[in-house]
Structure formats: C-alpha cells, structure tokens
Amino acid sequence: MARIGFIGLGNMGGPMAANLARAGHEVAGFDLKDDAMERAAGTGVAPATTARAAAGGAEAVVTMLPAGQQLRDLYLGEGGLLAAVSADSLLIDSSTVDLASARAVHAAAAAAGRIFVDAPVSGGVAGAEQAALTFMCGGSEAAFARAKPLLEAMGRSVVHAGGAGNGQAAKLCNNMLLGISMLGVCEAFVLAEKLGLDPQALFDIASKSSGSCWAMLNHLPLPGIVEGAAANRDYRPGFAANLMLKDLRLSQEAALQAAAATPLAAAAAALFGMFVNAGNGDLDYSAIVKMVRGH
Ligand code: NAD
C-alpha cells in the first residue's frame, strides 16, 4: 500500500480520495476549502496543512482541481509542487483541463525528471462515489503501468490513450460528441412531440434503429422512459450544464489550435453557453431540451 497525497477534495476528489483510503492506502489530503477538508477527514483521509505537505514524501500525488489554471499554479513556477515531490513520485492529474496546460505540466515534469500522467475521468460524482470511474490516461507506457493499479481503486476502467496529453484529448473528444449527441436527441424528441408521435414509441424504435446513441439510451431528456435519467428528477444533475459547457469550450480551444473544423461542436458550445447564461448552469445538461422546445 502506498502513501498518497491528494489535492483537491471537492465533489469528485473527496470520494476519490476516500476510495483510495478504503483500499488501504495512507492518504494525506489538502483542499483550500475547510468544508472539503472536514468531509474528507471523516472518510479516512488525513488532513494536510498545505499542498506541499500532502505531496512531500508521497509515492503518488493525485490532483482533482477545477481547471488548467489551478493545475499550472500548483505545479509550475517558483515554489511549485514539482520541486517539492520526491524524484520517484508518480504524479497523476485527474482534473479536466485544457490540452495546453496538460502538455505544459508534462513537459515541465519531464524536464525535472518527474513522472506525470494526465488521467481525466468520465462517470461523474456517482462514479467517483462508487469507484466506477473511467480513467483516460496520457503518458509513457511505464508511467501508465505504475498509475493503473492506483486508479483501479477509484475506477472500473483504466485506459491508456497514448502519450502526453492524450488522456485530455480523449476526454474532450468524447464529451464534445456527448454534447452534440444530446442536442440531436433533444431535437428529435421535440420534433416527435410536434408531430404527435409518442416519445415512448420513438424511444422504442430509435433504440433498435440507426438513430440510437448513448445519450438517448442513458440520459434521455424526457421523463418516465429511461430509469436513472435526470429528467425523472426535474433535471437535478447528473452532469451539470456548466460542466458540459466547460468541456465544449475546451474542445473548441483544441480544435482552433489543431485547425480542425468542428462546426457542430461550435454550435453546441454556443447553445450551451446561452442555456448556462440564462441561469441553468446547475441543471443537468439534458435540461437543454427546454431551450430546444423554445421555453
Ligand atoms: P469541485 O469544484 O467540487 O472541486 C475542486 C476542488 O479543488 C475544490 O474543492 C477547490 O477548493 C479545490 N482547489 C482548487 N484549487 C486548489 C489548490 N490550489 N489546492 C487545493 N485545492 C484546490 O469540482 P469537481 O466537480 O470535483 O471537479 C473536479 C474536476 O473534475 C474538474 O476539472 C471537472 O471538470 C472534472 N470532472 C467533474 C465531473 C463532475 O461530474 N463533477 C465529472 C468529470 C470530470
């Protein structure tokens, strides 16, 4: 069992750190917020006074932070964590961040002789709580091999997506597809309403036809058909619309840098931007069906 430093004990990081402690690891955790620290302490995570204290001497350091800015601030520059961790410490970032930040930290870690893996997740808070996350990992084969057993204490599926930053690349391509798919599902089911077609009939047919997709099968934006869908609980997330917007914007940034044409994702980012700006950011992303309906 390893001594692990865990930084960022929020909605995702809190239960992830708890699962590492439950698996028998010695976990020292740090968050800027007192309430996150208190919750973590109740789950077997030892409170550290600073990020450096959590990371110093740890065999592995896991970060679960809001975005790329916090990752860069923590790791890079004078007083950054890269200087504080042991030479053989394994550094894993599971936050969803922009590709440039992930690759900047990879490069700085390599220059300092440290091992870094970008390992963003899919599965949300429920997946974090149930240790059922999917991890998409970017880094060397050797780094991935070291990270895999640790990540398996927090997830059900741990996949190597390739070299530095490719975990984030997989995450943003996947979520770009999810955002576009959800809007397609919304449009089809709103058109069905206007055509007098029962949504249950459309679901039964489409789920066995060429229009089927994961967003429809799991997150149908209409209530009463798919068990577990946020539509059944007045669109309480689930996967909040503001997080979908964050991921769509990250995919747009990456598309711009790579000169990839992503017109459907650009439209999806614009639509989710309007939906969030209208005060709906904390609703599940499937609630965008209301806007598609014109409400
Ligand atoms: P959150 O805001 O609940 O947690 C982030 C935590 O990081 C906060 O508690 C904050 O205080 C802490 N933090 C920020 N800077 C810090 C620093 N320098 N040192 C220590 N702590 C610091 O967010 P979350 O929902 O847990 O999401 C974390 C990451 O996971 C994000 O990148 C998000 O995009 C990604 N993600 C979230 C979900 C989800 O459903 N919530 C799903 C997949 C991926």
CATH at 214: 1.10.1040.10
Count of other CB atoms within 10 angstroms of residue 30: 23
Say how many CA atoms lie within 13 Å of 48 toward its Cβ: 23
Same domain, 146 and 176: no
How many structural domains is the chain composed of?
Answer: 2
133: amino acid identity, one letter: L
Same domain, 232 and 156: no
Say how many CA atoms lie within 13 Å of 51 toward its Cβ: 23
Same domain, 24 and 123: yes
Task: Enumerate the active-site residues.
Answer: 171
In this predicted structure, what is the pLDDT of residue 295? 87
- Token digits of residue 42: 């109740």
The alpha carbons of the chain give a radius of gyration, in whole angstroms, of 20
Which residues are near ligand 1 (CB < 6 Å)? Answer: 7-13, 30-33, 36, 51, 64-67, 70, 74, 95-96, 121, 124-125, 239, 243, 246
Same domain, 149 and 281: no
Same domain, 25 and 63: yes
Question: Looking at ligand 1, which atom is closest to the CA of residue 33?
Answer: 11
Same domain, 286 and 188: yes
In this predicted structure, what is the pLDDT of residue 1? 85
In this predicted structure, what is the pLDDT of residue 78? 80
- Token digits of residue 222: 């209409």
Same domain, 99 and 143: yes
CA–centroid distance, 199 to ligand 1, in Å, is 36
Burial class (CB in 10 A: 0-12, 13-18, 19+), 263: exposed
pLDDT tens digits in sequence order for the chain, 295 residues long: 899 999 999 999 999 999 999 999 999 999 999 999 999 999 999 999 999 999 999 999 999 999 999 999 999 978 899 988 999 999 999 999 999 999 999 999 999 999 999 999 999 899 999 999 999 999 999 999 999 999 999 999 999 999 999 999 999 999 999 999 999 999 999 999 999 999 999 999 999 999 999 999 999 999 999 999 999 999 999 999 999 999 999 999 999 999 999 999 999 999 999 999 999 999 999 999 999 999 8
CA–centroid distance, 206 to ligand 1, in Å, is 36
In this predicted structure, what is the pLDDT of residue 79? 84
Which residue lies with its CA nearest to atom 8 of ligand 1?
A: 10
CA–centroid distance, 66 to ligand 1, in Å, is 4
- Expressed as residue numbers, the domain containing 191 is 169-292
Same domain, 239 and 111: no
Which residue pairs from 155-161 have beta carbons closer than 8 angstroms and sit at least 24 positions apart in sequence? Answer: 155/121, 155/123, 155/127, 155/131, 156/131, 156/132, 157/133, 158/119, 158/134, 159/134, 159/135, 161/136, 161/137
Q: How many helices (H) and strands (E) does the chain have?
A: 14, 9
CA–centroid distance, 124 to ligand 1, in Å, is 11
Alpha-carbon 179 to chain mean position = 14
Burial class (CB in 10 A: 0-12, 13-18, 19+), 89: buried
Choice from 6, 33, 52, 65 to test ligand 1 binding pocket (greatest atom count within 8 A of CB): 65
Same domain, 71 and 177: no
Which residue lies with its CA nearest to atom 30 of ligand 1?
A: 95
Same domain, 150 and 208: no
144: amino acid identity, one letter: F
Same domain, 111 and 254: no
In this predicted structure, what is the pLDDT of residue 231? 98
Give the domain-ending residue among 118, 138, 164: 164
The pTM assigned to this predicted structure is 0.95
Give the domain-ending residue among 146, 164, 182: 164
Choice from 9, 11, 19, 52 to test ligand 1 binding pocket (greatest atom count within 8 A of CB): 11
Give the domain-ending residue among 137, 164, 191: 164
Same domain, 158 and 191: no
CA–centroid distance, 204 to ligand 1, in Å, is 37
CATH of the domain at 19: 3.40.50.720
